[in-house]
Structure 1
């Protein structure tokens, strides 16, 4: 592997302050995740406890992305070690946790819809808690090496990291695990889920002796449609918002065109980075659009908080 100038990789470093051009994003992201966590934690959204655990955990992981990759890295700059090392490492941890919790949620919904025998054992509150804990531990343990990849005095990847075959293998492995493998898994799981739902829908209509338009009154079909809309919207949002960043990373690593991506294609790089980070606040809006009960609970949560503050001021 030929030597590379460390400065040429500064765009790939998580210290990039490019989101200064989008000052509204930190506030939007932070507020959206706080509202999602507060609403879902009440447990009144008509969702099972296991699903609620996953959605709260995903919102929590997204909030960590906002804290470490937006607020601490792009609003408050840390240019020196060890603060920079810790913040950057936690940024990688939070992104990995957010991505793999999305995969875990997709798997949970696939099992619930397609594997009824396994559903009673896997799709439970306890099962969700175990999976969330496992994903969190693995996200931390697999990203600890990032702490040692930076220069001991400055917030730049060290010369040894850039030019070491071992570190190169680790870097490639990291890019494959987050988010290439999740892309593939989410697409496969969704394909299995769609196939099963279509087949089950045809069978159910035949058993009930109904026409297609009459099937809309079937409550079971309504529940399935709500589940698939929520699942697919989250999955499609994840794929679309990460796609630009994945393509940029592939070009940078396969073509070695780090400097070119920083100069002539700076707008594309900036857009990819913004979309990737924007994915950390989209789920709340997805819930609001696809789940009527969630919208009602958001209003109730805001009213409850407002009344609590008003009563406190009056006392």
Structure 2
């Protein structure tokens, strides 16, 4: 998020992403807030918090930061102070979404693999506490980003846009902060989500085989086994989606670190560095609207609530006309 995006491809992609992501996350927030998806209150809290942070990412990062910089380049938010504040909020909401996904994965791991701890850890109170801690730490951890940007240029005495200071690449303190930032998001979440999902799937498969042997129904249908298979599909889908959409971001960071090249701050759409940088941003932001579709595909009760929500305006209109 270092300079305004440009180029016809991104000028089209970002509005499409906003048009899909904002309503999708709003729908998820409405459905989950009703609590009618057959999920425990703790799980609902996690998914609702993820949907809220993803919605904030779409609003701040996509609509204000990216679309605003393309179509309204000289607005108040394009000034350096506005750009700094917007960028900090982007990083806060990004970290919140990623680490809430990790927290949800840990909750499911404990619930499935550690039945003894389930009653203590997988509770509404614990979920609320964890969500609060994640949001607080996200704010504290990303506050220093406010001080790493300088004006991209000054026009008529006013500073415009944001460009990383040279000290961000030279200072040992800032270089350490870079590694801390990228280790906490997304390198460590990568490791944790992969590890916990592998362990969870391994436990589910072992438990399923044991259940088949006990029941002696290797070829017969088992409703519980079917539900576990759905759990495996959900876990793998979320993990694979997370990995694919963040892979270029991680690769870009490692490339910058090992080659010593800085992040591209210009606006030349023909420059490969600019295209690569904007592509990593686009894919990262795309991860903020995919969970809704994953839930819709894998969760039957979510599908039912989605159908009710979609037809509710027509039902209301029909009832009004009938009266």
TM-score of the superposed pair, with normalisation by structure 2: 0.86
Asked if 2 retains the 8 angstrom alpha-carbon contact of 1:62 and 1:281, the reply is: yes
What is the 5 A alignment of 1:48-127?
48-77=40-69, 78-127=77-126
Alignment partner, residue 224 of structure 2: 220
Alignment partner, residue 147 of structure 1: 146
Tell me: CA distance 1:310–1:72, structure 2 relative to 1, closer, same or farther (3 Å).
Answer: farther
What is the 5 A alignment of 1:164-203?
164-203=171-210
Q: Which consecutive segments of 4 or more residues in structure 1 shift more than 6 A?
A: 259-262, 309-315
Alignment partner, residue 234 of structure 2: 230
Q: Please identify, of 295-304 and 89-98, the stretch whose mean Cα deviation from structure 2 is larger.
A: 295-304
Let me know the Cα RMSD of the aligned residues. 2.4
The equivalent position to 2:216 in structure 1, one of 209, 212, 219, is: 209
The equivalent position to 1:13 in structure 2, one of 2, 27, 39, is: 2
Tell me: CA distance 1:147–1:305, structure 2 relative to 1, closer, same or farther (3 Å).
Answer: farther
Asked if 1 retains the 8 angstrom alpha-carbon contact of 2:263 and 2:277, the reply is: no
Asked if 2 retains the 8 angstrom alpha-carbon contact of 1:17 and 1:73, the reply is: no
How far does residue 13 in structure 1 lie from its aligned partner after superposition?
1.4
Alignment partner, residue 253 of structure 2: 249
For the residues of structure 2 that align with 1:296 and 1:285, how far apart are their CA atoms? Answer: 14
For the residues of structure 1 that align with 2:3 and 2:236, how far apart are their CA atoms? Answer: 30
Asked if 2 retains the 8 angstrom alpha-carbon contact of 1:252 and 1:261, the reply is: no
How far does residue 282 in structure 1 lie from its aligned partner after superposition?
0.3
DSSP 3-state at the match of 2:83: helix
Alignment partner, residue 240 of structure 1: 244
Does 2:276 correspond to 1:297? no
TM-score of the superposed pair, with normalisation by structure 1: 0.88
For the residues of structure 2 that align with 1:88 and 1:269, how far apart are their CA atoms? Answer: 16
DSSP 3-state at the match of 1:13: coil
For the residues of structure 2 that align with 1:259 and 1:131, how far apart are their CA atoms? Answer: 34
How far does residue 260 in structure 1 lie from its aligned partner after superposition?
8.2
DSSP 3-state at the match of 1:82: helix
Alignment partner, residue 26 of structure 1: 18
Unaligned segments of structure 1, at least 5 residues: 1-11
Which string of whole-angstrom CA distances, capped at 9 and with x for unpartnered residues, describes residues 131-151 of structure 1? 111111111111111111112
DSSP 3-state at the match of 1:132: helix
Does 2:285 correspond to 1:281? no
Unaligned segments of structure 2, at least 5 residues: 70-76, 152-158
Q: Please identify, of 105-114 and 265-274, the stretch whose mean Cα deviation from structure 2 is larger.
A: 265-274
How far does residue 266 in structure 1 lie from its aligned partner after superposition?
4.1
Asked if 1 retains the 8 angstrom alpha-carbon contact of 2:4 and 2:66, the reply is: yes
Q: Please identify, of 173-182 and 245-254, the stretch whose mean Cα deviation from structure 2 is larger.
A: 245-254
For the residues of structure 1 that align with 2:27 and 2:5, how far apart are their CA atoms? Answer: 28
Instruction: Give the total of aligned pairs.
Output: 301
